[in-house]
Structure 1
Amino acid sequence: MLQAALSRASYNNQVKVTEILASRPEISSLAIEVREIKRRSIMKLEELIDRAISSLKAAKANPYYASSVEDARSIIGRIVGSNKLVILSKSMAAAELDLRSYLESQGNEVWETDLGEFLIQLEGVKPMHTIAPAVHMTREKALILLKGKLKIDVKEDTIESIANTAREFLRSKIIRADIGITGANALAADTGAIVTVENESNIRLVSSIPPVTIAIVPIDKIVPTLLDAVKVAIIQAAYAGLYPPTYINIVTGPSSTADIEQTRVYGAQGPKELHVILLDNGRLNAKSNPLLGEQLYCIRCGRCSFECPVWVHTANYWGGPVYGGPMGIIWTAITIDPIEAGKLAYLCLQCGRCDESCPVGIRLSYILRYLKTIAISGSMSKL
């Protein structure tokens, strides 16, 4: 059943992306531009981090630099506290921190609001794909989870009914939430603007309804300008097979109003506080490695997984404790342990399909071959 679901998802993604690129030739040109944006951004990453922090402060947000998982958890733990209702949007950065479990251990009630992540939460497993976390799940399994875990009676045995049932349950949590936590597709250093792309509308709800919101932004997602950030979001959506996206959101600071005397004050109908966690967790160190540094161009579209003949049989069970697939192994090397990632890389067939499918031209199979040499030598080898 797992292989059947993954094969269908892989085929459908390939068809959708092919149709998008055939009908929108400007997307391929924009992808080349995005690669250059990411290349230049990583080259001057330290400078962009400083600019982003200054811009966030100017926008009345509260920026924090977290060098490790432990730092990030500690910062977020202080902001959230305990006995709070916390809602999350889909975020691999939050998964990197194992944030849901951490916040629950601090006495908070925590819910994922993306439908796929919500089902994954009920199932108790890791996301099976970067953009489609429940890609392995059938409607029958989803029904069992809703009825068994939440004691909810789903009216009809249809995907629409499952989605509506989840919507009703999650809306009751969203409207009462104390804290909302999102990720980011990109952050503009010039303005501090956080750009996200989605189709469900849960990200805009999570980032606009609770009085306190937190955005977790891996530092590799910082780009020079707001225009650059929007271009990254567009390419991520297109190569995920979801173009045009339903929503592209831009958040710059907490809610505000200038309706009285054209004087801006903060804390209007939306959040009164915005906290932004700039997460390193091995990324600056990876920048100094010519191969691992190339992975920092990644826009997390997940297309390399859909193209991978190994992933189609394993989903994200292959790749590490958080990420999965070809890109996931490399992210495991960057954020956890390159030697352990190298051991996982031995399942790679070196077919090169991931290289051909990557919109920003990351040489994934070449990096995976490099990680294999690390696993053999037991240390980071020279390039």
Structure 2
Amino acid sequence: MLRGAILTTPKLHIVVDFSPNPPTTGVAMVTVGEHSRVVISGCNPPDTYAISIANIVGKHGTLVVQGAHAVVDGGNQPMSVGQDGTGVLTIKKGAVVSVGNGDPIKYPWALVIGNHWHKLKPGSGTVEVSNASLLVHGQVIVGRNTVGKLDVHERGLVVAEDVAIGWAPDSGQGDQGKGSVTVKGSDARLIVDNSLEVGHMGVGSLTVAEHGFVSAGIAINVNGALSLADGQIETTALGVYTGATLSGHGTVIASAGFNINDLGAITAHQQLNLIGDIDNAGTITVAAGGDLRCFGTLLDDQGSIELQANSVASLEAVGSGQTITFAGNNAKLVLRSPGAFGGTIKNFGPTHSIELEAEVTLPPNFANGVLTLTGPGNNNVVAQLQMQGAIAYNTNSFNVVPGPPAVITYV
């Protein structure tokens, strides 16, 4: 579309199908450029999309919206990218696209990326947003019954009410939804009003990297893979469930806390900050050279934290049932609230250290599996640490530098 052009239409379907005379493998492409606009206006029947990209099996369609004041106004009606074929939506250079499901009775989702699966010619959907905005009034499905991908690049913004990544389970026909979302680059942002699901009933992954930012107002439920590489996530509650993983380095804030079930796992590579109370019934691993910093209470539950070689875990209060295991040389445990440690420390030995943010003035005492450390004043117990391991500990097994911070090593 030329500069200043305006197209008003009840629907926009982008696809090539010249077969059988002549057959084609070409790509249908529509470009909305600077100061041009597409406006969806009018009624559509139920269960249809006002904007559909690649709605014929085996065919390709692309919509590019680019440049200052380039706009696609979906009229609060839904869009499908990769409806039946291979569809691509690219939004860049200051452009804005808005879609929605103003009448959810007609269609439940505002945007589907990678919709229908076809055995002989499976399609896919891809949406890329960079230095531009995608505004969705409703739920986004990434990978409904096929492959869907949403990439938010530098200065890209995506806003939605809800997001589900990897929607449908496999019915036995290979039609499992496979979705991936990447938010990568400075000022790349995904803002979700309510809930974000990483793996609904299909396969889902979320990557937040290079100062990318993701927020969800109610919750982030991880049933797939959530990866951080210097990214930031903010939400009210975050759950890591059966078979799910949260890994990498960056910052995750969950104001109402984290829930890690018995088959969920978190792995810290480099520095990973977890801000909020943690109900850990699963496994947290601090990988070799990693630095885990927890700002909140590790609640009473049967979970574990494993410290691999040259790793550090810095913890506040730790509830009973939590086990901290030294699994590699030169690992260090930092207890910022040593008097509130109620867990168990396993396999503490040579090359390991425990740092207490407190002053210890009296020699340690070890009895009945508990290392007791006292500080200034009468009967001032700084910490009581339950210790287990293959080593037969006694009081002389521990050397303490008074501090603050006090440092415990194995003799």
Relative to the length of structure 2, the TM-score reads 0.19
Give 1 or 2 for the bigger CA radius of gyration: 2
Write 1 or 2 for the structure with the bigger share of strand.
2
Q: Which has the higher contact order (CA 8 A, sep 6+)?
A: 1
Write 1 or 2 for the structure with the bigger share of helix.
1
